[in-house]
Structure formats: structure tokens, C-alpha cells
Amino acid sequence: MKTIYKYEIALSEGTVEVPENHEVLHIGEQNGRLFMWVLVGDSYFVKIISSLVIGTGWPVEGVSGKGYFGTVQMASGLVWHVFLSGANRKT
């Protein structure tokens, strides 16, 4: 059975543990915090997703090996660009 879970993303660099069988569906804001919604299947194995969040106008460093997954405009007016490695993108 598949289920959708949400995981908070750090506003800098961080990691998130998800089931190996997953697809990142969406990255967005909820109550001033950054989250990714992930479709997960039954799996006993864990995969670690590394994240890097860069603000508009910031130097782009450390994205090597990470794929661009989306841009989020926060209610506060800040805009974040999210790069992930180890994540399966929804097709």
C-alpha cells in the first residue's frame, strides 16, 4: 500500500530518511516551514535524501551531484530553490 507523507526540509543543508520505495511529489510551504510531500510504498529499507536550499541572490555552491527539484515562494516573500540528491522524482 502506498501512502503520502510529508518531511520537513532544513533551510540550508540537511538530510531526510525516507523509505527506499518513494517518489517526491511536491515541495512547498506550510505554516512558514519548508516541506516535501513524498509518496512512499512498503519498504523496510531506508534511503537518505540530502537537501540543499539556496535563496534567490545567494551564491550557488554545493549543488554538484544534486538535482534541482523546485522553487518555493514563502508567504514571507522569501524564495527558496531546492536541490536534492538520492531522491526519486515523480514521473
Which set of grid coordinates corresponds to residue 90? 515523480
Reply yes or no on whether the pLDDT at 90 is more than 80. no
CB of 9 within 8 A of CB of 37?
Answer: no
User: Domain boundaries in the chain?
Assistant: 3-85
pLDDT 10s digits, 25-75: 999 999 999 999 999 988 778 999 999 999 999 988 878 888 999 999 999
Q: What is the DSSP letter of 63?
A: -
